[in-house]
Structure 1
């Protein structure tokens, strides 16, 4: 059988741009998986996915027209059930063979072999391989059903449903059309190119000719990655000609790539007078509303030029450029109007209006929220040696910009506009910066607040959300997290760990809970919320590359100083490199198991009750190293502390070799348990060392 390249393309109306790359990859992965499952292509066979605004496609190399036939062996039943004493087939075997369509005469060729403890009959048959022409339509249909699409639509008079109406289906194996129907569309070899620049319907001669034909006759670059690279190259070139930079543009580049099939970049301009508006407003207007790429000077300031990614390539693009400039101007005018009106009204005047805005029906108004944040922010600022009055001022102003026209139009600018409006009213820069920074980190990798006032307010904000929603039973479950509590938890952990801040998370939870009016919180908060944070921390540390056993050992002690977690992890890793580590970890595991069986408190060891030389030696070894080890612990020199404790190995090994812990004499037994308890308490101040034992 001769293999050939397979092409599958579904032509549709414009697909959702932000989801396009994911749809293209999922579509191709589903089809390839279906082919592999049926033996029509090798498990490591090459394939390419394509996605444009109006098409999803895949080409798969070396696809067989029919899978190779294979022998399939199945167990029929135990010999004792299948054959009578005379060796003849029983009624049970006859009935089963009839159901399977296996002739009774085949019994003589059945294989007999042991299956567990009983001998059984096995039947081997040759199963014909799948035919591409018979299964491809079903494979494509299954791939479409598995796409990550939240909502589908129906079009025309048919019953087919998809995220957008579908118009054409191309399925080619080499140069041959593979028959089949998907979404009520019969397959063929005809597709369409660019809406305006194509020469019309396009016949694809063969699967291998798909990409070059679309480019030459349809004016379409079907490969998403290639189209993205093409746009990026043009953007960088045009920006360079203007001595400008593009800033952060990756997300917008992905979206624009999903909006065009034949990209061409042009330069547009707007009036320089609009630059009096905060540049964040103009940038968001251009990027979010118009999908333009703003340009920046070397110092990061916005220029009054921007780049347009058009879906048309014209010798004279003046109409395209003029049209885009005409469209952006009203948007920029709106931004300027909102800004000027907000400045006139001021920020402080809006604070009292927060009392009339519901935050949550069980948690009160936004005014209630900023009052709670103020209490907690002042407390944290005091702990950090910052000005509590400035923290209070920043907290009271922190949500006022939510009532401004600009943030009403562009919610993404909350905090950012608060900073501008606070500065316009004469607020100290540190207060204005805290208003902006208290939302940080907004996403993974985002910058953290860079002042103690900003950190205090950011922690107060996130803790208020966490404590509040946990306190009314609104805990994230599965994939559902409508209030963004996982993000708030990760943000809290990052601020405490990466800054780092010497704050106790359990105490912070308590302070935040105490800021709520009596009766507001109806569910237990401290325990569940701490465990929620601890689980987020566990995942965060593993994702950062820390060894699982070290993470488990450190978190087993339920740390509340998040800033000390990573230093403790580093100390554990250093301890694991010591030659004494494995033996001490195993000994600790043994100690933990022994102490679990002890009843009540083990108390302190009594020197007078020590009988054996080995237990006396261990006692004195502990007494010798304990002061230095505790000094290292107090100074947070955890690696040094564990290295000191590693010196106990010889005494610990000798103790377990020569001493019977569970002695018959009760006082001796209790004293030995106390000695082990003292050893465990000393060794496990950084981490639960027993967790490091294999």
Structure 2
């Protein structure tokens, strides 16, 4: 029987060479959570044990509170065999029973402790023999070894590297594979070292602090509770990722506020910089103001991507010549660090200025022919081929919008010109260096070429929305071009069978589909989805097969997913999308109408009746025409329903045609009483074929009237 001891906090730290910064946050969280979960599963920690992760450029660590020195013993019930098999008719144990007990570490002396009880898992509910044994709980050393092995095995390591362990490594470790070479292992339960081994290392209490600023080397950790404080005071390291993250954010804000400026808001950059420094020190730097003549997107991107700097913006969001550096050292005189960073950034900005100046020597129009040398897809040709397809699709969309009064003829001409040069900036030096600036640089170069403002904005905006929550194109020309571009991608790739699978979507087709949906719905475009997909098909000639239903289903699936995120119920969404409304702009008002209808007291009875009508019509061979012969309405209830339909249907249809879907459904609520009476008093499948056909025609008329806005049967419980 294990003896219960007071709990103490446990600290584990793995000291390594500099970890990949973009992965550090996930590595730290995974290491801490996996290790803690394993300890809890083994009974060495409880669900109430606090888990504190640590992750710095050179360490992964975790502190788990209230950890036992040993897990409590557990009573385990073993099902042995049916009683009739375990004992003879004389009540003597059979050899099979004795052998089974031996396998569990018991012998004949355990026979009096066996229990006979009904086995619920047995088909015949026969008596079975059960043996209760006490399994000793794992010691902390055993449990931590298992937890540590699991934590390391499950790390989301971007790429493993092989290395030779240091001199003095444990026997048997001639080669190690890990994310980075490991140099030290700490495992403290309170003040005591827990003996564990991993990656050729044996646990101890020594770690290393800051490479340049540690007060002592090594740092000898005295107690698990004092880890963070001791590492900060003696090692000059803030071990907690979250603490460093918060410290950097505060320093950035304070330094920017002194200059009455705002640091660039970039969560990914802040995470990456947090993973690069052990004790952050934010410093203010400057570059020459003449570089501000370069588009600020270029300067911001080069400072963030290449140097990990935080550009500073004024109150209007304009870039200034000042920027912030997060240094990993804190010298008494920071001037050398500041000057060094200013010297490093200057060539980067000069490169951007050079690219910008060189690119403007050629117009976008003069670059179009070069797109023939840029492969878009092995089966779909070059970027020039793609450009021509986008032009064809954009032309069809523009013509449809001209007919509906959304677009003018002048705007149509701008759409065509924008489509022709939208991809030309792919051939510029700036976009070659920074692909993220495609479209953005096209706008700047179009403005430099003196093109119309609508065209310049459309070139930038035709990539929008680039991500969830991104803004839509700013003008009609941009909307048409963006819609054409995304439809070309979807139709083309679906047409060659390049569909997304699982989490893999290399061509971002899900994002393109959501972009199409958002533009059609939020811009309320009077365009039908199937018409758009068919209009895009001729642009490909014989290159692809018709993606048809598969692509439409894909788009409706994305639409359903987006609507679920907007707090619509599954029944409401199914009811509306079951009809495959072609104008996606109609979907939101239809959903609102369905929600309002479902709240009416008549709704449950009508939706149930609608489902019943649908089931009746499905069982009929052939198509039932929605026709009624008044002369064949023999029963008062069917005559009453026909009369009510004659009164209500025109009103509901008129409301539907003017787009008032809520009113259309509310008119139908008046049919509840005659519908209920019909099903109570009229037999639809009568022996008289003429009467039966007329009653089916009446139900078909009712079904058509009730399901124009949505398939109301989907609301039935």
Query: Counterpart of 1:118?
Result: 125
1:514-539 CA-to-partner distances (Å, cap 9, x unmatched) read 1112x200x44011111111111122
Task: Please report how far the alpha carbon of residue 648 of structure 1 lies from its aligned counterpart in structure 2 after TM superposition.
Answer: 1.3
Give, in whole Å, the separation in 1 of the partners of 2:716 and 2:87. 55
Verify: 1:602 aligned to 2:624, yes or no: yes
Instruction: Give the 5 Å matches for 1:85-124.
Output: 85-116=89-120, 117-119=124-126, 120-124=128-132
Q: Secondary structure at the match of 1:328?
A: helix
Instruction: Give the 5 Å matches for 1:321-336.
Output: 321-336=338-353
Give, in whole Å, the separation in 2 of the partners of 1:622 and 1:83. 78
1:1-31 CA-to-partner distances (Å, cap 9, x unmatched) read 2111111111111111112111111111101
Query: Counterpart of 2:688?
Result: 665
Check the 8 A contact 1:347/1:400 in 2, yes or no.
Answer: yes
Match of 2:44 among 26, 40, 43: 40
User: Against the structure 1 CA distance between its residues 682 and 189, is the aligned structure 2 distance closer, same or farther, given a 3 Å change threshold?
Assistant: same
Query: Counterpart of 2:180?
Result: 164
Query: Counterpart of 1:676?
Result: 699
Task: Please report how far the alpha carbon of residue 274 of structure 1 lies from its aligned counterpart in structure 2 after TM superposition.
Answer: 0.7
* TM-score calculated relative to the size of structure 1: 0.97
Q: Secondary structure at the match of 1:643?
A: helix
Instruction: Give the 5 Å matches for 1:126-141.
Output: 126-141=134-149
Match of 1:379 among 382, 396, 413: 396
Query: Counterpart of 1:180?
Result: 196
Give, in whole Å, the separation in 2 of the partners of 1:681 and 1:348. 54
Give, in whole Å, the separation in 2 of the partners of 1:593 and 1:380. 40
Count of residue correspondences: 692
Match of 1:151 among 138, 153, 159: 159
Task: Please report how far the alpha carbon of residue 95 of structure 1 lies from its aligned counterpart in structure 2 after TM superposition.
Answer: 3.9
For structure 2, list consecutive stretches of 5 or more residues without a partner in the other structure.
166-173
User: Against the structure 1 CA distance between its residues 193 and 460, is the aligned structure 2 distance closer, same or farther, given a 3 Å change threshold?
Assistant: same
Query: Counterpart of 1:581?
Result: 603
Query: Counterpart of 2:9?
Result: 5
User: Against the structure 1 CA distance between its residues 671 and 84, is the aligned structure 2 distance closer, same or farther, given a 3 Å change threshold?
Assistant: farther
1:607-636 CA-to-partner distances (Å, cap 9, x unmatched) read 222222222222211111111111121122
Give, in whole Å, the separation in 1 of the partners of 2:692 and 2:105. 74
Instruction: Give the 5 Å matches for 1:533-552.
Output: 533-552=555-574
Check the 8 A contact 2:209/2:231 in 1, yes or no.
Answer: yes
Query: Counterpart of 2:668?
Result: 645
Check the 8 A contact 1:415/1:437 in 2, yes or no.
Answer: yes
Give, in whole Å, the separation in 2 of the partners of 1:390 and 1:645. 47
Point out 4+ residue stretches in structure 1 off by more than 4 angstroms: none
Task: Please report how far the alpha carbon of residue 659 of structure 1 lies from its aligned counterpart in structure 2 after TM superposition.
Answer: 2.1
Give, in whole Å, the separation in 1 of the partners of 2:561 and 2:426. 33
Task: Please report how far the alpha carbon of residue 35 of structure 1 lies from its aligned counterpart in structure 2 after TM superposition.
Answer: 1.0
Query: Counterpart of 2:473?
Result: 449
Q: CA RMSD in A?
A: 1.6
Task: Please report how far the alpha carbon of residue 105 of structure 1 lies from its aligned counterpart in structure 2 after TM superposition.
Answer: 4.1
User: Against the structure 1 CA distance between its residues 318 and 542, is the aligned structure 2 distance closer, same or farther, given a 3 Å change threshold?
Assistant: same
Query: Counterpart of 1:69?
Result: 73
Give, in whole Å, the separation in 1 of the partners of 2:291 and 2:483. 36
Give, in whole Å, the separation in 2 of the partners of 1:205 and 1:501. 69
User: Against the structure 1 CA distance between its residues 320 and 126, is the aligned structure 2 distance closer, same or farther, given a 3 Å change threshold?
Assistant: same
Check the 8 A contact 1:20/1:52 in 2, yes or no.
Answer: yes
Query: Counterpart of 2:35?
Result: 31
Give, in whole Å, the separation in 1 of the partners of 2:612 and 2:98. 61
Instruction: Give the 5 Å matches for 1:255-654.
Output: 255-384=272-401, 385-386=406-407, 387-517=411-541, 519-521=542-544, 523-603=545-625, 604-654=627-677
Give, in whole Å, the separation in 2 of the partners of 1:361 and 1:684. 45
Q: Secondary structure at the match of 1:65?
A: coil
Give, in whole Å, the separation in 2 of the partners of 1:108 and 1:593. 65
Structure 1 window deviating more from structure 2 (29-38 vs 153-162): it is 153-162
Give, in whole Å, the separation in 1 of the partners of 2:706 and 2:155. 53
Q: Secondary structure at the match of 1:188?
A: coil
Query: Counterpart of 2:170?
Result: none
1:77-113 CA-to-partner distances (Å, cap 9, x unmatched) read 2334333433433444344334333324434432222
* TM-score calculated relative to the size of structure 2: 0.94
Q: Secondary structure at the match of 1:515?
A: helix
Query: Counterpart of 2:168?
Result: none
Give, in whole Å, the separation in 2 of the partners of 1:542 and 1:590. 27
Give, in whole Å, the separation in 1 of the partners of 2:519 and 2:17. 46
Instruction: Give the 5 Å matches for 1:195-234.
Output: 195-199=211-215, 200-234=217-251
Check the 8 A contact 1:28/1:57 in 2, yes or no.
Answer: yes
User: Against the structure 1 CA distance between its residues 636 and 312, is the aligned structure 2 distance closer, same or farther, given a 3 Å change threshold?
Assistant: same
Task: Please report how far the alpha carbon of residue 420 of structure 1 lies from its aligned counterpart in structure 2 after TM superposition.
Answer: 0.5
Verify: 1:190 aligned to 2:206, yes or no: yes
Give, in whole Å, the separation in 2 of the partners of 1:123 and 1:230. 58
Give, in whole Å, the separation in 2 of the partners of 1:388 and 1:650. 53
Query: Counterpart of 1:692?
Result: 715
Structure 1 window deviating more from structure 2 (154-163 vs 103-112): it is 103-112
Task: Please report how far the alpha carbon of residue 508 of structure 1 lies from its aligned counterpart in structure 2 after TM superposition.
Answer: 1.2
Give, in whole Å, the separation in 2 of the partners of 1:677 and 1:7. 73
Check the 8 A contact 1:2/1:64 in 2, yes or no.
Answer: yes
Task: Please report how far the alpha carbon of residue 504 of structure 1 lies from its aligned counterpart in structure 2 after TM superposition.
Answer: 1.3
Give, in whole Å, the separation in 2 of the partners of 1:582 and 1:39. 52
Give, in whole Å, the separation in 1 of the partners of 2:582 and 2:330. 61
For structure 1, list consecutive stretches of 5 or more residues without a partner in the other structure.
none
Query: Counterpart of 1:82?
Result: 86
User: Against the structure 1 CA distance between its residues 181 and 382, is the aligned structure 2 distance closer, same or farther, given a 3 Å change threshold?
Assistant: same
User: Against the structure 1 CA distance between its residues 98 and 279, is the aligned structure 2 distance closer, same or farther, given a 3 Å change threshold?
Assistant: same
Check the 8 A contact 1:423/1:429 in 2, yes or no.
Answer: yes
Structure 1 window deviating more from structure 2 (552-561 vs 211-220): it is 552-561
Check the 8 A contact 2:661/2:709 in 1, yes or no.
Answer: yes
Give, in whole Å, the separation in 2 of the partners of 1:17 and 1:663. 77
Check the 8 A contact 1:10/1:56 in 2, yes or no.
Answer: yes
Give, in whole Å, the separation in 2 of the partners of 1:82 and 1:645. 72
Task: Please report how far the alpha carbon of residue 186 of structure 1 lies from its aligned counterpart in structure 2 after TM superposition.
Answer: 0.9
